[in-house]
Chain A
Amino acid sequence: MDLVDDIRRGEVRAIARAISLIEDLEPEAELLADSLFPHTGRALILGVTGSPGAGKSTLVDRLITLERRSGHKVAVIAIDPSSPFSGGAVLGDRLRMQEHATDPGVFIRSMASRGFLGGVAAATGDVLKVLDAAGYDTIFIETIGVGQTEVKIVELSDIVLLVLMPGMGDEIQAMKAGVMEIGDIFIINKKDMPGADKLLMEVEYVLSFKNPGEDTVTNPIVMTSATNGEGIGLLREAIAAHRTEIARSGKLEQKRRFRLERELMGVLNRKIHQLMDVHIEVSKQLPDWADTLYRRKACPYALINKQIQNFLKEGRGDRTN
């Protein structure tokens, strides 16, 4: 496949087009993803999550500068929500990274969530393969940033950076609700704002409950001020140290294996769905089924179980119903 070669040579247009094929679920996307798969596994994947306005894009912008200084090629996937009404989206995250737009060692791509929950877009996993195979050393995934739905980022990243800022009253609530569980490195951005020290104490307090004993990997907390660049060097060191640490302890491998498991589950689910749709025409029959339920002529579990049994027996559903 020419496209695969072009991607592996790092040709920007090819990379960009491949991402569109995957996002648009074109028929050739599966083969493309599989052709790229053997060439993946090199990049360090960093998830960046946190509330809107916490400064995620500016932090990524600053980290790109440092990565470039060490000669690393960097890619960014910045995800924004699609409008539930029109399906359209305004993607504006890359605004803060535009000074890297003309750097050939930096590739930035905005993605709309296209209705997928979990803070990322459905295609993100396969898009990562394109960027990994294209030779980017570090890949940032910047999530939408709306709290609890961000969990998907854990499955996709090697390290998750959770960006917090002082003065957002809901932070503590979020911690209680489990968002804190997803972070590997905690960033208190806008550290010059009032309340930063208090937030630091609160994060430390919450983290003291997080790893009761058995886990040796600690969670660094870094104070930054992304707009004027303070603390970014420290953050990068913390990322490097954390990476070394999880590689040594085996946690990185464990994470990556887990990611592959999740990916397989995802593919399986999607495939089963598609299969069912083809063979028992779920989408088409749904209104009729709902109608029999509405008229209380059938019950949900029994109806579906019957459909599945028919499918297993005959390879097709009961279309006469």
Chain B
Amino acid sequence: MPLPEELKKQKKDWEETTVRKVISRYPELKAEFVTGSDKPVERLYLPESFSVEEYLGKQGFPGRYPYTRGVQPTMYRGRLWTMRQYAGFGTAEESNQRYRFLLEQGQTGLSVAFDLPTQIGYDSDDPRAEGEVGKVGVVVDTLRDMEILFDGIPLDKISTSMTINAPAAILLAMYIAVAEKKGIGKDKLRGTIQNDILKEYIARGTYIFPPAPSMRLITDVFAYCSREVPQWNTISISGYHIREAGSDASQEVAFTLANGIEYVRAALKAGLSVDDFAGRLSFFFNAHNDLLEEVAKFRAARRIWARIMKERFNATDPKSMMLRFHTQTGGSTLTAQQPDNNIVRVAIQALAAVLGGTQSLHTNSREEALALPAEESVRLALRTQQVLAYESGVTSTVDPLAGSYCVEALTDRIELEVWQYIDRIEALGGMVPSILKGYVQKQIQEAAFRTQKDIEKGERVVVGINKFQMEEKRPENLLRVDPAIRQVQTDKLSQLKRSRNSSHVQDSLSALRQGAKQDAVNLLPLILETVREYATLGEICQVLRDEFGEHKETIVL
């Protein structure tokens, strides 16, 4: 049923008389209002139309296709989201302390940040690791570090998310091996590896191998886990970093789901059947300051993914159609100036994630535009989630913003734009060719460039940056990673190398090399064997570098 003529007439009358009269005396602050993604916002939204069929088709009921209103029927009335703060720095010992602290503070899941050498497959003693060891996350060279990292933490009781991509299979193997030593079976393990290489090529940069062998490693993980580690989320398809690189909200969803399509296709090509792995796919999004647009974004993403899985890939298991996601508040929205303002930003963004139906949430800390967060800042960020969960009341009903004329209109608009991008990428031959041609990077860069120009011109206000600036004292007590850590870790490493059985190490690495040469071999069991022998991450990755080659970025400026 389209909008009744009478209502349209009334709106026109309202604009021409009531609004016009006011505007003539008190003009609006801006000629045009836009969302955080620079899309027009109307003064007032009205119901576009309403019919039962349309409602069921576009929104439906929570826990039912198309899942616009949420993936579980009761949402936070049944169970709150998992409060999961991304953490890790320095040595395994230091990070283990931080994890225990967070669990004591009421955090309900772990999220491991690895340092860059670990993420790119270099050991601490590699020259390329200079200055980087333990800086943005914890350093892991061998299984020994993982044993220390999870010391005293019950791996059968908590879920662990690991932000690791190019060497995801190796870190997962280490996690399994640590559990083995604790006597915990693979079927008890719950958690997520990010394992999303496509967005590394697009936005985050910690790739190692070219697309084809990278996709093989990913589908090997899918296949292995579907048999052996059934509760593990084998991938976290991430829009977070795409948004951080400067995309707008629609692009974030579009490129993430297009990556998802590519992974599903790769898994099907590798011989898996869709309902065997699709239920273990998870997603990861950003939350920015434009509250309503962000809520609409999450809702649109669920609706589109459900349709993709049902209609394009003929999934039949409802779990395969549900877009479950983790959210992190937007790192790039934080300012180094007046860092306390970030606390407020984070609260708004976290609210958007909750109103958008997230399954887990990380809230950034106030000084993260400057350094890794200190304990008290992390606690405050966690408390923000707890206030939302226990005091705000927004958890009491499912999808509270549904039916807001504005939010529904934004949801529809984002959906439309997302489909346009997905169609364009499909026309270019899918995500891999689109990345190699630089198409995706170009779209993101254009958006990032516009945003930054708008900030410099003052057309987009950032409090404390281009408006309401003030003189301030520089923040003190920033967390610092001791630069001596590289030496400590290197010593640890050479000691370990002396103590392990080096012929076993070499044998396991040669077996991996042989396996890598044959596409049909699942590499997970071979990798597991190398980590059990305490082969280093760098050694394992070097074997794969030799066999697979290395990726080179496509730059479009």
Give chain A's interface residues, CB within 8 Å of chain B: 53, 58, 90, 92, 95-96, 227-228
> Which of B210, B437, B549, B557 is in CB contact (< 8 Å) with A92?
B557
| New contact pairs (9) apart from A95-B555, A96-B552, A227-B210, CB-CB < 8 Å | A53-B437, A58-B552, A90-B557, A92-B555, A92-B557, A95-B552, A95-B553, A227-B552, A228-B549
Binding site for A on B (CB under 8 A): 210, 437, 549, 552-553, 555, 557
Beta-carbon nearest neighbor of B438 in chain A: A53
Nearest residue, chain A, Cβ from B437: A53
CB contacts (< 8 Å) of B553 on chain A: these are 95
B427 to A: closest C-beta gap in Å:
13
* Interface of chain A, main secondary structure: helix
Complex: A227 Cα to B210 Cα, angstroms: 10
A96 / chain B contacts, CB cutoff of 8 Å: 552
Q: How far is the CA of A94 from the CA of B555 in the complex (A)?
A: 11
Which residues on A sit within 8 Å (CB–CB) of B555? 92, 95
In the complex, the chain B residue whose C-beta lies closest to that of A92 is B555
How far is A228 from B209 in the complex, measured between Cα atoms in Å? 12
Q: How far is it, in angstroms, between the C-alpha of A246 and the C-alpha of B437 when the chains are bound?
A: 36
**What residues of A have a CB within 8 angstroms of the CB of B549 in the complex?**
228
| B interface secondary structure, majority | loop
Chosen A-B contacts, 12 in total, with CB atoms closer than 8 Å, are: A53-B437, A58-B552, A90-B557, A92-B555, A92-B557, A95-B552, A95-B553, A95-B555, A96-B552, A227-B210, A227-B552, A228-B549
Compute how far the CA of A313 lies from the CA of B555 in the bound complex, rounded to whole angstroms. 57
CA distance in complex: A53, B553 (Å): 13
Please list the 10 inter-chain residue pairs (A to B) with the smallest Cβ-Cβ separation, ordered nearest first.
A90-B557, A92-B555, A95-B555, A92-B557, A96-B552, A228-B549, A53-B437, A227-B210, A95-B553, A95-B552
Q: Which residue of A lies closest to B436 (CB)?
A: A227
User: Which residues of the other chain, A, contact B557 by a CB distance below 8 angstroms?
Assistant: 90, 92
**CB-nearest residue of chain B relative to A58?**
B552
Chain A proximity of B61: nearest CB distance (Å): 45
Q: Which residue of B lies closest to A95 (CB)?
A: B555
Tell me the minimal C-beta distance from A225 to chain B in angstroms. Answer: 12
CB-CB < 8 A to A228: which residues of B? Answer: 549
Q: How far, in whole Å, are A58 and B210 apart by their CA atoms in the complex?
A: 14
- What are the residues of chain B within 8 A of A53 when measuring CB–CB? 437
Give complex CA distance A92, B554 in Å. 10
Chain A contacts for B552, CB-based, 8 A: 58, 95-96, 227
- A95 contacts across to B, CB distance below 8 A: 552-553, 555
CA separation between A95 and B210, bound complex, in Å? Answer: 16
Docked CA distance A53–B555 (Å): 11
Which residues from chain B contact A58 at a C-beta distance below 8 Å? 552
Complex CA gap A289/B5 in Å reads: 67
**Distance of A228 Cα from B557 Cα, bound (Å):** 25
Q: How far is the CB of A57 from chain B (nearest CB, A)?
A: 10
Q: Could you tell me the distance in whole angstroms from the C-beta of A86 to the nearest C-beta in chain B?
A: 14
Inside 8 A of B210's CB, which chain A residues have their CB?
A: 227
A37 to chain B: closest CB distance in Å?
A: 36
CA distance A53 to B437 in the complex (A): 7
CB distance from A299 to the nearest CB of B (A): 47
Nearest chain B residue, comparing its CB with the CB of A167:
B429
Residue of B nearest to A96 (CB): B552
Q: Give the shortest distance, in Å, between A32 (CB) and chain B (any CB).
A: 32
Q: In whole angstroms, what is the CA distance A25 to B409 when docked? A: 59
Chain A residue nearest to B210 in the complex (CB): A227
Chain B residue nearest in CB terms to A93 = B555
Assembled-state Cα–Cα distance A58/B549 (Å): 14
A95 to B553, CA, bound (A): 9
Docked Cα-Cα span, A92 to B552, in Å, equals 13
With a cutoff of 8 Å between Cβ atoms, the chain B residues found around residue A92 in the complex are 555, 557
Report the minimal beta-carbon distance from B257 to chain A, rounded to whole angstroms.
25
A227 CA to B552 CA in the complex, in Å?
9
Q: Which residues of A contact B437 (CB under 8 A)?
A: 53
- CB-CB under 8 A from A227, the residues of chain B are 210, 552
Once the chains are docked, how many angstroms separate the CA of A279 from the CA of B549?
Answer: 62
CA distance A58 to B557 in the complex (A): 18
**What residues of chain B lie closer than 8 Å to A90, measured between beta carbons?**
557
Chain A residue with the shortest CB-CB distance to B557: A90
* CA A96 to CA B553, docked complex, whole Å: 8
Q: Report the separation of the CA atoms of residues A228 and B437 in the bound assembly, to the nearest whole angstrom.
A: 16
The residue of chain A having its C-beta at the shortest distance from the C-beta of B556 within the complex is: A92
CA of A73 to CA of B315 in the docked complex: distance in angstroms? 58
CA A96 – CA B555 in complex, angstroms?
A: 10
Q: How far apart sit A96 and B551, CA to CA, in the bound complex (Å)? A: 11
- Whole-angstrom distance between the alpha carbons of A228 and B210 in the complex? 10
In the assembled complex, the Cα of A90 lies from the Cα of B552 at a distance in Å of 19
